[in-house]
Amino acid sequence: MRPEDLLLPTPAGVCCKPGGFHIDPTRPVDKAVITHGHSDHARAGHGAVLATQETLDLMRLRYGEAFAGSTQAIKYGESIALGGAKVTFHPAGHVLGSAQIAVETNGLRVVASGDYKDVADPTCAPFALVPCDVFITEATFGLPVFRHGDPDAEIAKLLRSVALFPERAHLVGAYSLGKAQRVIALIRKAGYDKPIYLHGAMEKITRYYQSRGIDLGRIELARGVAKADLAGTITLCPPSTLKELWSRRFPDPVTCFASGWMRVRARARQHLVELPLVISDHADWNGLTATIAATGASEAWVTHGQEDALVHWSVTHGLQARPLDIVGYGDEDDGEVTAEVSDPGEAT
């Protein structure tokens, strides 16, 4: 059997013919298997959805109860037979509930990793390496210039700035699902124990993380707090709000942005960011290439970002490789390309 007989890239996403399902479909399908809750991977309107409990809950929070015809929760390490295929979920280390999906039949195993990172994150289960024949990898940061570095060192920069400027507020732009909660957890890990403030758009998801036992310390809404009382504080907000009227309620704000793209100075300038924080929920170039090699796969399928360099790297390292060219996956690390915050006109 060829891998393409098991999983086939189609305009609606990767399709498993023998199993009768699509993975992270970009348009409504009968049966969807979903890697994680980001809106470009987890869309409303499918017939049946199979995903982790956290991903199903996050979809419900975003889209309401009727987001799918029916749902089924699956745990990490659990396998389910779908038609002629066996499907197993493994942690992807990307955001709470994120999973890689291993699809098997007749001794052939393809792993669709969704989005992933191979570094520690206090808010989700660590990435699990799954040996396979074909590894489907994202390529959001699929260029050698992208090395994310140590997130704790970025948080130390933030806390140094907070200590230096007690009369100013610090506004940290961060994607609402995953990044914001990870930044809060990293700030706590660094020993900061004062309340951390939130933009209202992040409240539901952040409270959900807390309800799943993720310790984020004391979290309060910035809404309704007097301007003077926000001096010396840290507030997390969707990146687009940094430039909006909303930010004027803060005393002389220091604008920060937590994203892998902050490695690129032009991006930081474009966002008018005073303090860029290079913190990403995606693997960097080293992480992507090390992971592809470690899976032992003889074939890599590359999607979702800068496919060419990673395809080239794979081929020069003895793998067969191809770009998948599926349209419809966004870039939540950019912060502007999101459905849940305003400013769609600035999507890049």
38 contributes a contact to Zn ion by CB under 5 A: yes
Half-sphere exposure of 321 (CA within 13 A, CB side): 23
Closer of 108 and 324 to Zn ion (Cβ): 324
Closer of 38 and 109 to Zn ion (Cβ): 38
Only one of the segments 16-24, 34-42, 52-60, 249-257 lies at the binding site for Zn ion (rule: CB under 5 A); that segment is 34-42
Half-sphere exposure of 66 (CA within 13 A, CB side): 0
Only one of the segments 107-115, 121-129, 207-215, 289-297 lies at the binding site for Zn ion (rule: CB under 5 A); that segment is 107-115
Closer of 115 and 336 to Zn ion (Cβ): 115
Q: How far is the CB of 125 from Zn ion (least distance, A)?
A: 15
CA dist 171 and 222 (Å) reads 11
Q: How far is the CB of 298 from Zn ion (least distance, A)?
A: 25
Q: How far is the CB of 292 from Zn ion (least distance, A)?
A: 17
Q: How far is the CB of 28 from Zn ion (least distance, A)?
A: 19
What pairs with residue 221 in β-bridges?
Answer: 198
Asked whether the beta carbons of 209 and 222 are under 8 A apart, the reply is no
Closer of 14 and 230 to Zn ion (Cβ): 14
182 contributes a contact to Zn ion by CB under 5 A: no
Closer of 138 and 154 to Zn ion (Cβ): 138
Closer of 31 and 41 to Zn ion (Cβ): 41
What pairs with residue 188 in β-bridges?
Answer: none
Site of tokens 């036992």: 213
Closer of 38 and 148 to Zn ion (Cβ): 38
CB count within 10 Å of CB 344 equals: 11
Would you state the torsion angle of the CA atoms of residues 235, 241, 246, 252, taken in this order, to the nearest 10 degrees? 60
121 contributes a contact to Zn ion by CB under 5 A: no
Q: How far is the CB of 307 from Zn ion (least distance, A)?
A: 13
CA dist 180 and 90 (Å) reads 23
Pairing of strands 13-16, 8-10: antiparallel
Half-sphere exposure of 233 (CA within 13 A, CB side): 23
Q: How far is the CB of 193 from Zn ion (least distance, A)?
A: 30
Q: How far is the CB of 296 from Zn ion (least distance, A)?
A: 24
Binding mask 225-244 for Zn ion (x = CB under 5 A): --------------------
CA dist 198 and 288 (Å) reads 32
Q: How far is the CB of 303 from Zn ion (least distance, A)?
A: 9
DSSP annotation string for 319-344: -EEEE---TT---GGGSSS-SSSS-G
Only one of the segments 30-38, 203-211, 227-235, 338-346 lies at the binding site for Zn ion (rule: CB under 5 A); that segment is 30-38
Q: How far is the CB of 306 from Zn ion (least distance, A)?
A: 13
271 contributes a contact to Zn ion by CB under 5 A: no
Where does residue 114 fall: left (phi above 0), alpha (psi -120 to 50 degrees), or beta otherwise? left
Closer of 38 and 43 to Zn ion (Cβ): 38
Closer of 115 and 284 to Zn ion (Cβ): 115
CA dist 140 and 283 (Å) reads 8
Asked whether the beta carbons of 286 and 149 are under 8 A apart, the reply is no
DSSP count for the chain of H helices, then E strands: 8, 19
CB count within 10 Å of CB 189 equals: 14
Only one of the segments 37-45, 125-133, 148-156, 209-217 lies at the binding site for Zn ion (rule: CB under 5 A); that segment is 37-45
115 contributes a contact to Zn ion by CB under 5 A: yes
Number of residues that bind Zn ion (CB under 5 A): 2
Residues of this chain that interact with Zn ion (CB under 5 A) are 38, 115
